[in-house]
Structure 1
Amino acid sequence: MKNTYLSCAALLLAACGGGSAPADTSRLDWTEPADLVATDATLWSDVAGTRASFGSVDVRYPRAVPFLGEQRDGATLAGWRGERLSAQLVVWTAEGLEGLRCTVGDFTSDSGAKLAGIGRARFVKYVISDSFLPEMPCGARPADNPAHLEPDLLSEEATLDLAAATLRPVWITVDIPADAQPGRYRSTVEVAAKGFEQQLDLELEVVDRLLPPPSEWAYHLDLWQHPSSVAEIEGLEMWSDAHFRAMEPTMRLLAEAGQKVITATLNKDPWNCQTEFPYADMIVWTRLGDGSWEYDFTVFDRWVEFMMGLGIDKAINCYSLLPWNSELHYTDEVTGQTVTVSAPPASAEFRELWKPFLEAFSAHLAGKGWLGITNIAMDERSPEDMAAAVALLEETAPELGIALADNHFSYRRYPQIQDMCVSIFADMDPADILGRRAEGKVSTYYVCCSSGFPNTYTSSQPLEAVYLSWFALAHDYDGFLRWAYNSWTADPIRDSRFRNWAAGDTYVVYPEGRSSIRFERLREGIQDWVKATQLRSELAAADTPEARAKAERLETAIAACGDRMPFAGWQQTLNASKELLNELAR
C-alpha cells in the first residue's frame, strides 16, 4: 500500500519515553511547520543569550516571543500516590541552540528515600491551528479564517535544535509510584545544549492517599477511536498485522487514561465520512444466492480482542443502527458486486436488512461472551428515528444494550438505554441520574463543535481540558464522551485544522502514541474526578462534624465549576478547587 493519504472526499469521488515509538524508528516526518508570520525582532532586542525557567501548565507559550513571565528556577508539585503530575518549563534563546536536551533526575527525600525514574521531559512542538468561531461553531471554515501556531504535540525526540529568537516549551511528567513513601522529595531538571547548561529545582510532595490505577477508575471515559486513521497515516494495509502493531501505542495511551469503551462499527462508515479518512468496515455483510445472509466478524473480533488486551473492556459501543445517511452496503454473492442500499428507519428495507443481522450479531456476541457489555449505539438521531430503532431492538434482540449521544433533549423517552450521554447544553435531572446509577446504567455528557467552552480544541486554554471533568462532578455525571480521539487530519503532525470545525476538534493525540498538552490535562481532570469522588465517599462515611465541614467545602468547590460559559476568574476558581483536594486529603 502506498504511503498516501486519501481523504473522504477523494474516496467519495473514486467510490523522551513512554509507550510511543522512538523518534529514530518512526516512519513519519516530525518536522514542525514554519512560522506563519514574520518574527517581531523588537521583541528580542533586549534578550541576550539563553535562559530557562519554569512557567505554567495553564499557558501556551508562543514560539516567536521570549518568555515574559516571572523567571523561576524552582517549582513544587503535590499529588497522591499513583497520580500523574505535570509541570512546564520554557527555554528561550536569542542566538540559537544546538542539541538541547532536558533530563529529570531521581527524586530524593530528606530521609534518603529515592523515587527513581519517575520523571521525564518532552519537548512541546507547534502545530497550525485556527480559533473557535462563536458565530460559526460548526460547518465549513471560512476561506479567510486566520491561522496561527499553537504548542501542543509532546515530542519523543531526545534532543532538539532551537533557531535564534525562539522559545521552546518543555513538558515535565511525574508519575508517583503507588508504593511511594509520603513526604517531600527533591529533584533537579538539567537543561543543556552545546555551550549552555542550567539546573532547575523540582520539589514533590507525596500526599498519603492512594489513587487507584486507571483500570479501576469509576469515571466512564468514552473517546471514540478511529482505527482506520492509523493505517491511512502510516501507509499500512488495513487490518493487517502491521496495522494492529501500529495502533498499540496510540490505544495504550487511551487505556492508561482510564478509557472504558471500545468503538466499533456494524456496516459502512456510520457518520457518512465526516472525517478525513473513512471508517473501514469491521463486519462484512454478504447476501447469498438464496437470499439469506452471511456475516464475517473476523475483523470485529480481532479489534475487540486487541482493545481488551490493552485493558479497555467495560463496554463495546457499536455504530450504528442509525447511520447518518441511512445507507448500508453488502456484497452480492452472485455478482460479486458491492450493493449500497438506502434504508431509513421508516422504510421496509430497514427492517429487512437489520433484523437478520441483529439476530446473528446477538448470537455471535453470546458465543464470544460479550453480549452483556455490547450496546447498539446511535449518535444525535431524532426522536422519530430512535423510536423505530428501539422498537426493532426490543422486538429482535432485547438482550442487546443501547447507547445514545443525545442532542434532542429527549433522554427521558428512553429509560431502557444503558449508556446515555447528553449534550453539555442539556440538563439531566439529578434524580434521573441517581435512578439510572442504581440500575447500573451510565449517564455522561459530551462536547463537540458546537461548544466553545469548555473544550479541547488546539487553541482551547489548557485548563479547559481539566474543567471538563469538574463540570461532570458539578452535574453528577458518571464521566465524559468526546467524538474524536484520533480522527486525524491529512497532516496531523503539522496542521490540526479541519474543513468543518475548529482545529483540534477531530483529535487529541498524535500518531505513534504521541500525547499532547490537551490530552495530559484531560487525564489530569479525570484524576481530579476520581480523587473528589473518593473524598466524597470517605467524608460521608465518617459523618463527624469535621468531616461534614470538609464535605461542605468540597461541594462548594465542585459546584463552582458547573458553568457552561467562562466566567471571570474561572481559572483561579478551578485551581483553588484542585488544591483543596490535596488539602482535604492531608
Structure 2
Amino acid sequence: MRWWFLTAISDLYLYIMNNMRFIFLCCVVLNSFLLFGQDDYNELSDSKYVDLEVWRKQKDDLCISWGDANKHYSSQNVPDVPICLKHKLKGWKGEKLNALFLIWSKLRDCNVSVEITDLHQKNGGIISKENLSVGFVRYVMTDEFVREGKTSCGFRYDKTEWDSSLVADVIDIKKDFLLRKMHVTPVWVSINVPRDITAGKYYGEIIVNLDGKEYKRLKLQTQIVDRELPVVSQWKFHLDLWQNPYAVARYYNVSVWTEKHFEVMRPIMKALAEAGQKVITASIMHKPWNGQTYDYFESMVTWKRTLDGEWTFGFDIFDKWVNFMMSLGIDKQINCYSMVPWNYSFKYFDERTNSMEYIKTKPGDKEYNDMWIAFLTQFSSHLKEKGWFSKTCIAMDERPLPIMKTVLDLIRKADKEFKVALAGLYYEEIEPELYDYCISTDQVLPKNVIEKRKKQHLVTTYYTYCADCKPNTFTFSDPAEAAWIPLYSIKLGLCGYLRWAYNSWGEDPLRDSRFRQWPAGDTYLVYPGFRSSVRFEKMIEGIQQYEKLQKLREDFKRNKHLIRKVEQCINAFNIQDLAKEGTASSDIKRVISLLNEQ
C-alpha cells in the first residue's frame, strides 16, 4: 500500500514538473514571438486583375525559376520569365551578394521549405552554407506616387482614392511558407562572402521542398574576384537613416527605455549598423516634427524649470540611447533635433505648477534665447564630459534661411565650437558654418563648394523625400533604385545619403505600408521582426559598389583604366532617364560588372 502511494506521488510530481516545463517553454516561445515578431501573419488580399487564361495555359502545376532581384513580380499572375534553373553571381571577398528565385503554383496549395548546400570549389575550397541565407519575400500593400488633383506629399486619409496593390518587399524569417494556388512567392537568397577564401568559382544548390519532399534543385555558381571589400567600420559612405525608438516600443508593447525595449531594438539597429550607418538620431525636445509619424518623437532630454525660473536639463535617457547605439557600432556622429521644431512649442516640467507645461516661442524671442542658451551651455558641458562633443551636431531640417541665421548666431554665443547639421535647401550664406550639409535632389551645390568641403573633411550628402518620384525607396519603387541612390552620390560629388525614416512604422507595417500622408513605404525601410526588405538589401548593395570604387581609387595606378570606365558609367546616370522602366536596373548591372572586372 505504501509502495503504491509513493509511486502515485512520484508520478504526480513528474506530471506536474513535466507540465510546468511545457508551460514554461510555451511562455518562452510566446515571449520570443512578442518580442521579435516571429509569429506568422496573413497578407492582405489583392483586388488587381488576374489573367486566368495565362494560368490555364501553364503546362506544369508547379514551377520554379531564377528571377531578377531588381524587379517586382505580381503575387497572382504567372511571372513573365523563361524557366531557368541555373544562376551566376560574381563579387568580392567580404561582399554580400543577392539573388532571387520564384515559385508559383497553378492547381494546389502546398507547403514550401528551402534548403541550401555549401558552395564548393573544384580545388577543394568551400563557402559554408552558414554564410548563405534564404527568405520568402512577402507581399505588402502599397499605393502610387501621385494622382490627378492631388500632390505626392499631401494627405491620404481615404485610401480608396489611391490605386493600391500588393508588392513583394518583406523578406520573411519563416522557415516554411504556404503557397496558395494561382499565387507566386519570390525567395531571396543572400551570400555573405567570407574574407579568408581563395578567389575562383564556387558551386552549390538550392533545394526546394514541397510538402516535406524534395521537388527541385536550383544551381548556383558564385565567382569570387581576388579583391576584398573593407569591413563595414571602414566604409566611407555617409549613411544617415533616421531611427525611431518610439515606434519599436509601441509595436512590441514595451515601456520605452526599459531592458525589454533595448532587447527588441537590438536586432533592428544592429542591421542598420551592418549597413554602414554613421549617425545616431536623437530628439532633444518634445515632438521636433510635430508628430508627423505614427509614433511621434519624445524628448530624450528632461526639461525642467525650477521654482526660481532657472532652466535645468537631464541627459540620462539621451546617454542610454547613445551608449546603446555606439555599442552596436554606430558611433561616428550624433544628430540632435531640433532647435527649430515645426510648431515652435516646447514641453517642460514646471516646478512652480508641479506639472508639464508648454511654452510657445520662436527664434529671436528673448524667452527662446534664454531657454536655448541655458540648454546649449549645459549640453555642451555634458557632451565634453562624455567625450561626445566632437561627434555631436545640433541638427535642423528644411528651415528657412532667416531662421537658420538667427539660430546659428545663438549657437555660437553658447559654444562657438558646436557643429551644426542641416538638411534642406542650399543657402550660400551659411554653408561655411555647416559641418553636415544635406541637400535635396532639386538643389545644386557649386563644384568649388563641394571640393572645398571635401578638403575640409565636412559631410556633404543628399536626400530624397515624398516629392521625388524617382529615384526613391517607396514600396512601389523599382528595387534597383535603392541601389542606384548611393552610386548617384558619386556623380554629384557627395559622400552619402540621408533618408528621414528607417523604422517609423505605421499601424500595421507588415501588411500595409500605406500611411495617412506621403507615398507608401516613405516612413520605413525595414519591418518588425527583424525582417529586412528588398529595398534595404538593394540599398546595401549600392553602398557596397560605392565602397568598391573607393577601394579601387586607393590603388589608382593599378586600376586607372578601370576607374575611368566606372566613373564614366556613373556620370551617365540621369534622374530623368529613370522614367523609362528598367533604367535603374541596367545602370546598376553595368557598374557592378565593371567593378567585378579582374
Task: Indicate the TM-score class for this superposition, using the shorter chain for normalisation.
Answer: over 0.9
1:443-470, CA deviations, whole angstroms, 9 ceiling, x for partnerless residues? 0000000101100000000000011011
Partner of 1:331: 349
Partner of 2:177: 160
- Displacement, 1:121? 0.7
Partner of 1:123: 136
Counterparts in 2 of 1:380 and 1:500: CA distance versus 1, 3 Å: same
Range 518-527 or range 128-137, more displaced: 128-137
Partner of 2:360: 342
Residue from 60, 64, 71 that aligns with 1:52: 64
Question: Percent of pairs identical after alignment?
Answer: 36
Residue from 153, 156, 159 that aligns with 1:138: 153
- SS of equivalent residue, structure 2 residue 181: coil
Partner of 1:362: 380
Partner of 1:88: 100
1:299-354, CA deviations, whole angstroms, 9 ceiling, x for partnerless residues? 10000000000000000000001111111110011322111111211322210211
Range 360-369 or range 574-583, more displaced: 574-583
Query: Contact 2:36–2:264 at 8 Å: present in 1 too?
Result: no
The separation in 2 between residues aligned to 1:115 and 1:574, in whole angstroms, is: 26
**What amino acid sits opposite 2:104 in the alignment?**
W
**What amino acid sits opposite 1:94 in the alignment?**
K
The reply on whether 1:486 has 2:503 as its aligned counterpart is yes
Structure 2 gaps, min length 5: 1-31
The separation in 2 between residues aligned to 1:313 and 1:432, in whole angstroms, is: 27
The separation in 1 between residues aligned to 2:323 and 2:446, in whole angstroms, is: 36
The separation in 2 between residues aligned to 1:563 and 1:224, in whole angstroms, is: 24
- Displacement, 1:550? 2.8
Residue from 435, 453, 464 that aligns with 1:418: 435
- SS of equivalent residue, structure 1 residue 404: strand
Partner of 1:373: 391
The separation in 2 between residues aligned to 1:186 and 1:176, in whole angstroms, is: 13
- Displacement, 1:272? 0.5
**What amino acid sits opposite 2:384 in the alignment?**
A
The separation in 2 between residues aligned to 1:190 and 1:300, in whole angstroms, is: 48
**What amino acid sits opposite 1:286 in the alignment?**
K
* Greater share of residues in helix: 2
Question: Equivalent residues in 2 for 1:195-206 (5 A)?
Answer: 197-206=215-224
The separation in 1 between residues aligned to 2:490 and 2:190, in whole angstroms, is: 25
**What amino acid sits opposite 1:428 in the alignment?**
L
Question: Equivalent residues in 2 for 1:299-314 (5 A)?
Answer: 299-314=317-332
The separation in 2 between residues aligned to 1:185 and 1:302, in whole angstroms, is: 45
Question: Equivalent residues in 2 for 1:491-510 (5 A)?
Answer: 491-510=508-527
Counterparts in 2 of 1:51 and 1:189: CA distance versus 1, 3 Å: same
Question: Equivalent residues in 2 for 1:172-251 (5 A)?
Answer: 172-194=189-211, 197-251=215-269
The separation in 2 between residues aligned to 1:26 and 1:467, in whole angstroms, is: 30
The reply on whether 1:35 has 2:46 as its aligned counterpart is yes
The separation in 1 between residues aligned to 2:36 and 2:371, in whole angstroms, is: 46
Query: Contact 1:97–1:193 at 8 Å: present in 2 too?
Result: no
Counterparts in 2 of 1:554 and 1:204: CA distance versus 1, 3 Å: same
Partner of 1:4: none
The separation in 2 between residues aligned to 1:368 and 1:527, in whole angstroms, is: 33
The separation in 2 between residues aligned to 1:412 and 1:111, in whole angstroms, is: 62
**What amino acid sits opposite 1:82 in the alignment?**
G
The separation in 1 between residues aligned to 2:37 and 2:504, in whole angstroms, is: 20
**What amino acid sits opposite 1:119 in the alignment?**
L
**What amino acid sits opposite 1:72 in the alignment?**
C
- SS of equivalent residue, structure 1 residue 415: helix
- Displacement, 1:102? 1.2
- Displacement, 1:400? 1.5
- Displacement, 1:548? 3.9
Counterparts in 2 of 1:180 and 1:360: CA distance versus 1, 3 Å: same
**What amino acid sits opposite 2:542 in the alignment?**
G
The separation in 2 between residues aligned to 1:332 and 1:27, in whole angstroms, is: 43
**What amino acid sits opposite 2:292 in the alignment?**
Q
The reply on whether 1:549 has 2:575 as its aligned counterpart is no
- SS of equivalent residue, structure 1 residue 160: strand
Counterparts in 2 of 1:495 and 1:393: CA distance versus 1, 3 Å: same
**What amino acid sits opposite 1:139 in the alignment?**
G
1:253-272, CA deviations, whole angstroms, 9 ceiling, x for partnerless residues? 10000000000011101000
The separation in 1 between residues aligned to 2:110 and 2:214, in whole angstroms, is: 9
The reply on whether 1:393 has 2:406 as its aligned counterpart is no
Query: Contact 1:23–1:157 at 8 Å: present in 2 too?
Result: no
Range 552-561 or range 121-130, more displaced: 552-561
The separation in 2 between residues aligned to 1:54 and 1:558, in whole angstroms, is: 28
Aligned-CA RMSD value: 1.7
Residue from 287, 299, 311 that aligns with 1:281: 299
**Count of residue pairs the alignment pairs up:** 558
**What amino acid sits opposite 1:110 in the alignment?**
K
Counterparts in 2 of 1:186 and 1:236: CA distance versus 1, 3 Å: same
- Displacement, 1:529? 0.6
Partner of 1:580: 594
1:50-109, CA deviations, whole angstroms, 9 ceiling, x for partnerless residues? 111100001111110122211100100000000001000000011234331112211100
1:483-519, CA deviations, whole angstroms, 9 ceiling, x for partnerless residues? 0000101110100001110000000000122100000
Counterparts in 2 of 1:22 and 1:438: CA distance versus 1, 3 Å: farther
- SS of equivalent residue, structure 2 residue 578: coil
- Displacement, 1:188? 0.1
The separation in 1 between residues aligned to 2:539 and 2:428, in whole angstroms, is: 26
TM-score of the two chains, using structure 2 as the length reference: 0.90
The separation in 1 between residues aligned to 2:49 and 2:398, in whole angstroms, is: 43
1:29-61, CA deviations, whole angstroms, 9 ceiling, x for partnerless residues? 532212334644333112231111100001111
1:504-547, CA deviations, whole angstroms, 9 ceiling, x for partnerless residues? 000000012210000000000000111112223322x44xxxx5
Question: Equivalent residues in 2 for 1:261-272 (5 A)?
Answer: 261-272=279-290
The separation in 2 between residues aligned to 1:318 and 1:78, in whole angstroms, is: 41
**What amino acid sits opposite 2:591 in the alignment?**
S
Counterparts in 2 of 1:468 and 1:290: CA distance versus 1, 3 Å: same
**What amino acid sits opposite 2:231 in the alignment?**
P
Quick check: which has more Rg, 1 or 2?
2
Structure 1 gaps, min length 5: 1-20
- SS of equivalent residue, structure 2 residue 473: coil
The separation in 2 between residues aligned to 1:68 and 1:38, in whole angstroms, is: 15
The separation in 2 between residues aligned to 1:277 and 1:142, in whole angstroms, is: 17
TM-score of the two chains, using structure 1 as the length reference: 0.92
The reply on whether 1:295 has 2:313 as its aligned counterpart is yes
Residue from 474, 488, 507 that aligns with 1:457: 474
